Amino acid sequence: MDISTAAVQMRNITKTFGPVVANDKVWLDIYRGEILALLGENGSGKTTLMNMLSGIYFPDEGTISIDGREVVIRSPKDAFDLGIGMIHQHFKLVDVLTAAENIVLGLEGKLDLKAARERIRGICDAYGFEVDPDQKIYDMSVSQKQTVEIVKVLYRGADILILDEPTAVLTPQETDKLFAVLRNMRDDGKAVVIITHKMHEVEALSDRVAILRHGQFIGDMPTKDTNAQEMTNMMVGHAVTLNIDRPDPVDPKPRIEVKGLTVRSIDGILKLDDVSFTANSGEILGIAGISGCGQKELLEAIAGLQPVESGSISYIEDDGTREELIGKDPLSIAEMGVSLSFVPEDRLGMGLVANMDLSDNMMLRSFRKGRSLFTDRKTPRQLALDVVEELDVVTPGVSTPVRRLSGGNVQKVLVGREIASAPTVLLTAYAVRGLDINSSYTIYDLINKQKAQGVAVLYVGEDLDVLLELADRILVLCGGKVSGIVPGRGAQKRDVGMMMTKLGGDAHE
């Protein structure tokens, strides 16, 4: 393999969506035997650029060459024929089909599931994946789904792999495994592109970084010649500090007391098993755990969205009066005067209405106010303008549907609305998932401000490094049970990681 010729050469690539310029004359080289980290803030055009390489979009201008030969990629099939495979941030799997069926879906030739299963097992053995070819997608955890996506791409013989934020949904251990696989692929002479926001991952994994900002190519360099600070500055365009504040809690008082909470899913699967803890005012309680270990159910139970089998959730006011939250829906919880804000994991499917504009989304929380039959549109509009202004939301205006905003801006809109109601309890699930550094720090900042105002914050996170820096205490969930509660100050990443995979962590050994 001639290393000196780039596997992929993208030249002068421009792509516009209506008035938005997503990529502006971008040049990018991807080499075999190398892991390239593509860096950039949300909305900087990383995913768009890679989508053009994988045939999802067609560039308005510019050329793409594979191994020095100019090609035209009109469809994902063209891309596959050229050996390009992309693992998307949002999985493109058919829920009701099995892993094997998803993997062969759309392939030409005779459908031979038996042979396919064998090949899938072969790929899994070669790289150390764990996939049951006959398992239905809807039965899978997020990380299993991602594995299926990767196997799918390998099955089709891809030797140029693009991964769009693959670690966002993985535990540290799963991430390490993935990285090992990616390194193997690199050593095999495959070209690997990884889109990520996490600096320590870039440093740990990649050989070279390329940075985009506002759709433009800023520069690339060998990873060993740079550092997190420099990369961040290039991404953002100005110097930023990479420290998360953790002020000491001021006058913490019990605010939410959960006792013996047990929750089953509709299918009767035990999601939370006898969970007990107390969340204090003025404190951030981090919740760590492998995805799908009951984090979602826990927050939704507190928010009144999840039917509970047994246990109690008490809201404790400053004067010590207790209110039981179980059995109440979000409306009656609000009517009791409990100001509870919830930033759910599924921002556009639950927290916001994707097709509505910013002001109408602000109205979701406030539209009932007043006795009038008609909605008050001025206040939400003003709130939208304030949120855009204060949180630097990048949007053409407050009349833009939120689905047109990039991930980080969507999250700012959601968090902005949720904290606008001056909550006493703030529940957040994966508040920075998919957000770039700058937006993430904005969100940490906002959460810290809420903490300073005496809000009891429950922060479900996936990035242990952040949890260890941000949370005052960390509640570790493992398979729906409380594996332990550790103080955030001084906690070791390794210990918490162990507790995530095994009840009690080291204590049982």
Partner 1 sequence: MNKTHTPLFHVSKRGALPWYRSWGIRGAAVILALLVCALITNLVTGEDPVQVYKTIFQGSFGSARRAWVLFQNLAILLCVSLAITPAFRMRCWNLGGDGQMLMGGLATAACMILLGGKLPNWALILLMIVASVIAGAVWAAIPAIFKAKWNTNETLFTLMMNYIATQLVAYYIIIWEVPKGAGKIGIINQSSQAGWLPTIGSYKYLLNIIVVAVICVAMYIYLNYSKHGYEIAVVGESERTARYVGIKVERVIVRTMLLSGAICGVAGMLLVGGTEHTLTTTITASRGFTAVMVSWLAKFNPIWMVLTSFLLVFLERGAGQIATNFGLSASFADILTGIILFFIIGSEFFINYKINFRHAAGKEE
Shorter beta-carbon distance to partner 1: residue 71 or 97? 71
Stretch that binds partner 1, among 216-224, 272-280, 341-349, 496-504 (CB under 8 A): 341-349
Check binding of 342 to partner 1 (CB under 8 A).
yes
- Among positions 113, 240, 354, 485, the unique one binding partner 1 when judged by CB under 8 A: 354
Range 349-366 burial, b when 16+ CB lie within 10 A, else e: eebbbeeebbbbbbbebb
**DSSP labels, 237-302:** SS--------PPPSS--EEEEEEEEEEE-TT--EEEEEEEEEEETTEEEEEE-STTSSHHHHHHHH
Amino acid at 202: V
Work out whether 368 is an interface residue with partner 1 (CB under 8 A): yes
The CA distance from 196 to 48, in Å, is 14
- What is the smallest separation between the CB atom of 441 and partner 1, expressed in angstroms? 27
Assess 365 for contact with partner 1 (CB under 8 A): yes
**Interaction of residue 334 with partner 1, rule CB under 8 A:** yes
Contacts of range 383-389, beta carbons closer than 8 Å, 24 or more positions apart: 383/359, 383/417, 383/420, 384/358, 384/359, 384/413, 386/416, 386/420, 387/358, 387/362, 387/412, 387/413, 387/416, 387/417, 387/420, 388/358
Residue 326 sits in the site that holds partner 1 (CB under 8 A):
no
Which of 107, 221, 228, 305 touches partner 1 by CB under 8 A? 305
Strand partners, 191: 34, 160
Contact 268, 309 (CB under 8 A): no
For residues 217 and 184, is the Cβ–Cβ distance under 8 A? no
Q: Is 21 in the site for partner 1 (CB under 8 A)?
A: no
Report 213-252 residues binding partner 1 (CB under 8 A): none
φ/ψ region of 282 (left if φ > 0, alpha if ψ in -120 to 50, else beta) reads left
Which of 190, 347 has the CB closer to partner 1? 347
Is residue 489 at the binding interface for partner 1, with CB under 8 A as the rule? no
20 binds partner 1 (CB under 8 A): yes
What are the backbone dihedrals phi and psi of residue 282, each rounded to the nearest 5 degrees, phi first? 65, 25
Q: How far apart are CB 288 and partner 1 at their closest, in Å?
A: 24
For 255, the token pair is 């605010």
Beta carbon of residue 80, minimum distance to partner 1 (angstroms, whole number): 16
Q: Which residues pair with 482 in a beta bridge?
A: 477
User: Tokens in use for 325?
Assistant: 């939250």
**CA gap 483, 505 in Å, rounded:** 7
Q: Dig out the tokens for 145 from the structure.
A: 């789904």
| 163 close to 193: Cβ distance less than 8 angstroms | yes
Query: With binding defined as CB under 8 A, does residue 74 bind partner 1?
Result: yes
329 near partner 1, rule: CB under 8 A: yes
The smaller minimum CB distance to partner 1, of residues 270 and 356, is found at 356
Residues 71, 228, 394, 503: which binds partner 1 (CB under 8 A)?
71
Query: Cα-atom radius of gyration of the chain, to the nearest Å?
Result: 24
CA distance 260 to 412: 34
Residue 339 CB, nearest approach to partner 1 (Å): 13
Residue 18 interacts with partner 1 (CB under 8 A)?
yes
Q: Say which DSSP state 32 is in.
A: T
Exposure class string for 83-105: b at 16+ Cβ within 10 A, else e: bbbbbbbebebeeeebbbbbbbe
- Name the minimum Å distance from CB 353 to partner 1: 4
Name the one range near partner 1 by CB under 8 A: 63-71, 86-94, 219-227, 243-251: 63-71
* Choice from 1, 58, 227, 392 touching partner 1 (CB under 8 A): 58
Cβ of residue 374: shortest distance to partner 1, in angstroms? Answer: 5
Report the 10 Å Cβ neighbour count for 177.
18
Scanning 13-21, 94-102, 115-123, 278-286 for contacts with partner 1 by CB under 8 A, the matching segment is 13-21
Q: To the nearest whole angstrom, how small is the minimum distance from the Cβ of residue 418 to partner 1?
A: 11
Nearer to partner 1, 244 or 353 (CB): 353
Contacts of 39 (CB under 8 A, 6+ apart): 46, 195, 196, 197, 202, 209, 210, 211, 212, 231, 234, 235
494 binds partner 1 (CB under 8 A): no
Nearer to partner 1, 66 or 486 (CB): 66
User: Does residue 346 bind partner 1 (CB under 8 A)?
Assistant: yes
Q: Does 60 participate in binding partner 1 (rule CB under 8 A)?
A: yes
374-393 residues near partner 1, rule: CB under 8 A: 374-375, 377
Stretch of residues binding partner 1 (CB under 8 A), selected from 326-334, 422-430, 448-456, 470-478? 326-334
Binding-site size, partner 1 (CB under 8 A): 45
Cα distance between residue 323 and residue 388, in whole Å: 35
d(CA 212, CA 37): 11
Among residues 227, 355, 382, 492, the one that binds partner 1 under rule CB under 8 A: 355
Minimum CB separation of residue 66 from partner 1 in Å reads 10
Residue 303 found at the interface with partner 1 (CB under 8 A): yes
SS3 state at 307: coil
Chain contacts with partner 1 (rule: CB under 8 A) = 14, 16-20, 57-58, 60-61, 69-72, 74, 303, 305, 329-334, 342, 344, 346, 349-356, 360, 363-365, 367-368, 372-375, 377
